Amino acid sequence: MGFGAGRRLLARALAAACLAGGLAGLSAASATASDDYPWAWKGQCPILPQEPIVEPTPTPTPSPIPSPGPNAGPNATAPKPGEQAAPVVEPPPPPPPVFDPVTGHTYDPRGPRPTCASRVWSINGSIGDAWGFVLRNCTSFVSWRLHERNGMADFSNSFGGEHWGDARNWDDVARRLGYRVDSVPAIGAVAQTDDGRVGHVAWVSAIGPGTVTVEEYNHGVVGGYGTRTVPVGEFRYLHLDDVAPSPLLGSDRPVVSVPDGLGESWTARIDGSGTLLLSRPGGAARAVGPRRAFSTLAAPALTLSGKGLPWLAATTRDGRVLAGTPRNGRLALRRVAASAPTASPAIALSRTGRPLVATTSPAGTLEVRRLTLHAGWSRPDRIGRAGSWATHVAPVLGPDGAGRTLLVAVGRAGRTFALPLEAGRLVRLPGAPGSITSTPALTTTGDGTTYVHQVDARGRLLVRTLTGARWSRADKIPGDFSPYASPTVGVLGGHLHVAAVDRRGAVLVRAAVPGERSQMPGRVARAGDVTRSPGLVTRRNAGVFVVSGRRTTARLLTRPASALVDASSPTKAGFTP
């Protein structure tokens, strides 16, 4: 809830702040060890009028009148038979008042506990915190967390020159200021919803498989602290200055590669500084395009022309997609489209040999562009409904068994679709919804069979086969896989294999065709980062290498995936990282 000028106006406008769909309970709870909010249980709220407490009338107890003693005066008279003395009534003392930490008022325990008339607490006449938000409300607590945990010392109700105000406004303000707002949580992100009269915000403290744990104020406890674990979809997430990178990114991988048919691979990657690097077979990596300009959350896309030259596309930090191929010995990148900074582009050659680029916009719109005869890019062809596609996975392009260019993409709800771009219609693939943070792998073998490997939201690695125009049901590859990393497929030892990350971050290699058995080592990298998708690189006379690693160290950990090698020390596999 926001704090503006005018105490009375604010109190009226924000009387029910941060309800977010209603209260889970009205009883006060003591502040927990995690509640370091400086105004915890401080201040007073206006309370509803209470009925006056009526003192109980004690029942009188009569007592007999004593007879006059021997020394009584001459006027003393003896009591008449049955005469009683006038009762003396002593009212019981009132109980001590009790302090109510929710309202900040003391009350007589013989009456009801006081109830806040509005969710506005004042301390010495002030209802606002140091940053312009209302005390003990959700917005004030999240602002405190952003200062103390995220290091945003300048965050306030006027941060970025905007008025943040009620919790329901925060996502709109963040977008206007250029911050990423999406459905993927990160530690330290602001969880936000428009539910309730004025919305609600919370601070993300932990993330689990399909769940998020938040810290919050004024939701389950009136004016107090609480935590809860809910499905990820309960909130949208504002990435103002995350404490840790989002673990739910499926487009990035340490390296992408394309074999050249001679036992070598072209490779491309984006290093930790945002510089795009390209390496020819046997050559050192060299920077391409503007340095430090590319998104570290999305991998580049790479394909080879009929002449064996690379076509390269990559997403910049500000969401531009740049693409190009060497001309006169120099690879120059041109702007092609716009993309979500978390979504890699896809690039492939059409039947005519001209490249196609597929991108997903920040709003979730999927578009395809073609290189024209005049070396320009065509107007975009929109695929499906605008705003319906996931922005943390990449669209996938590649040939199918009939030589058509096939597009595979994942919707916001995980439904996966395929479309032959030359002719055909958008078809939903059978089986469970896929993870919205794991990019599928599209592969066509020499016998014309097309496979799509995909991790679903439950961590199962599924494979579907296209025969003619019909997709098979989804078969399961053994293993328990991370829904936050993408599989990669290649030929190892003469057979198709898939490499994927399990829930502990280990890289596993499995036979990619249902029913086949693999002779490869099952695990080729130990437990690590569950978000780091593997890559495959071929080297002449050295086999095929599974590449994994952390971008922050700019080191690539590689291990040979060859039937002839059971174990190997880390090696760079003959290419420069």
Residue 17 confidence class, pLDDT cut points 50, 70, 90 = very low
Q: Which residue has the tokens 């695929």?
A: 383
pLDDT given at position 306? 86
What pLDDT does 84 receive? 58
CATH topology of domain 7-50+115-239: endopeptidase fold (from Nostoc punctiforme) (3.90.1720)
Q: 124, 117, 123, 144: which is closest to 133 by C-alpha?
A: 144
- 79-114 pLDDT, tens digit per residue, is 666 565 556 667 778 889 999 999 999 998 888 889
The CB-side HSE value for 96 (13 A sphere, CA atoms) comes to 2
| pLDDT of the residue at 376 | 87
SS (H, E, C) 86-142: CCCCCCCCCCCCEEECCCCEEECCCCCCCCECCCCCEECCECECCCCEECCCHHHHH
- The answer on pLDDT for 552 being more than 70 is no
pLDDT category of residue 563 using cuts at 50, 70 and 90: very low
> 258-498, which class in CATH?
mainly beta
- Give the residue, 240 or 31, on which the prediction is more confident: 240
More confidently predicted of 59 and 259: 259
Sign of CA dihedral 456, 411, 249, 313: positive
Tens-digit pLDDT profile for residues 474-508: 999 999 998 888 999 988 777 899 999 988 888 89
- Looking at the chain, which residues constitute the CATH 2.130.10.10 domain(s)? 258-498
Residues of the chain with CATH 3.90.1720.10: 7-50+115-239
* Residues above pLDDT 70, as percent of the chain: 81
- pLDDT given for residue 389 in this prediction: 95
The SS3 assignment for 282 reads coil
Task: Tell me which H or E stretch contains 310.
Answer: strand 310-315
CB of 65 within 8 A of CB of 74?
Answer: no
Q: What is the pLDDT of residue 572?
A: 39
- 128-184 pLDDT tens trace: 999 999 999 999 999 999 999 999 999 999 999 999 999 999 999 999 998 888 778
The Cα-based distances of 482 to 210, 266, 385, 396 in angstroms read 11, 27, 28, 20
List the structure tokens of 318.
């500000």
pLDDT surpasses 90 at 225 = yes
Question: Beta partners for 427?
Answer: 418
Evaluate if pTM is beyond 0.75.
no
User: Per residue in 32-61, pLDDT tens?
Assistant: 447 999 999 999 999 998 888 776 666 666
* Contact between 506 and 526 (Cβ < 8 Å): yes
Structure tokens at 461: 């690695």
- CA–CA distance from 552 to each of 271, 297, 311, 405, 424 (Å)? 8, 12, 26, 35, 42
Q: 316: closest CA among 298, 302, 303, 330?
A: 298
